[in-house]
Copies of this chain bind each other. A is one copy, B any other.
Amino acid sequence: MDIAKQLSHIPLFQGLEPQYLQTLARMAIKKFFKRGETVFAEGDPGTGFHIITTGRVKVYKTSPDGKEQILHIMSQGEPFGEVPVFTGQRFPAYADALTDTSTLFIPRDDFINLIRTEPSVALSMLSVLSQRLKGFTVLIEDLSLREVPARLAAYLLYISERNQGADDINLDISKTQLAGILGTIPETLSRILARMTKEEIIESDDKRHIRICDRTAVEELAAGQRRLA
In the complex, chain B residues whose CB is within 8 Å of the CB of A138: 92
Q: Does A198 have its Cβ within 8 Å of any Cβ on chain B? A: no
Segment at the interface with B among A116-124, A161-169, A186-194, A207-215 = A116-124
In the assembled complex, the CB of A177 is this many whole angstroms from the nearest CB of chain B, namely 14
In the complex, chain B residues whose CB is within 8 Å of the CB of A63: 141, 145-146, 224
In the assembled complex, the CB of A11 is this many whole angstroms from the nearest CB of chain B, namely 13
The SS class assigned to the A binding surface is helix
Segment at the interface with B among A1-9, A26-34, A64-72, A97-105 = A64-72
Chain copies in complex:
2
Which single member of B65, B69, B122, B132 contacts A115 (CB below 8 Å)? B122
In the complex, chain B residues whose CB is within 8 Å of the CB of A144: 61, 67, 69, 143, 183
In the complex, chain B residues whose CB is within 8 Å of the CB of A216: none
The docked-state distance in angstroms from the alpha carbon of A186 to that of B125 is 39
Contact A86–B130 (Cβ < 8 Å): yes
In the assembled complex, the CB of A105 is this many whole angstroms from the nearest CB of chain B, namely 18
Q: Does A38 have its Cβ within 8 Å of any Cβ on chain B? A: no
In the complex, chain B residues whose CB is within 8 Å of the CB of A141: 61, 63, 69
Q: Which of A62, A112, A122 gathers most chain B CB within 10 Å?
A: A122
In the complex, chain B residues whose CB is within 8 Å of the CB of A93: 137
Known contacts A119-B122, A123-B112, A123-B115; A136 and B136 CB within 8 A of each other? yes
The docked-state distance in angstroms from the alpha carbon of A192 to that of B71 is 29
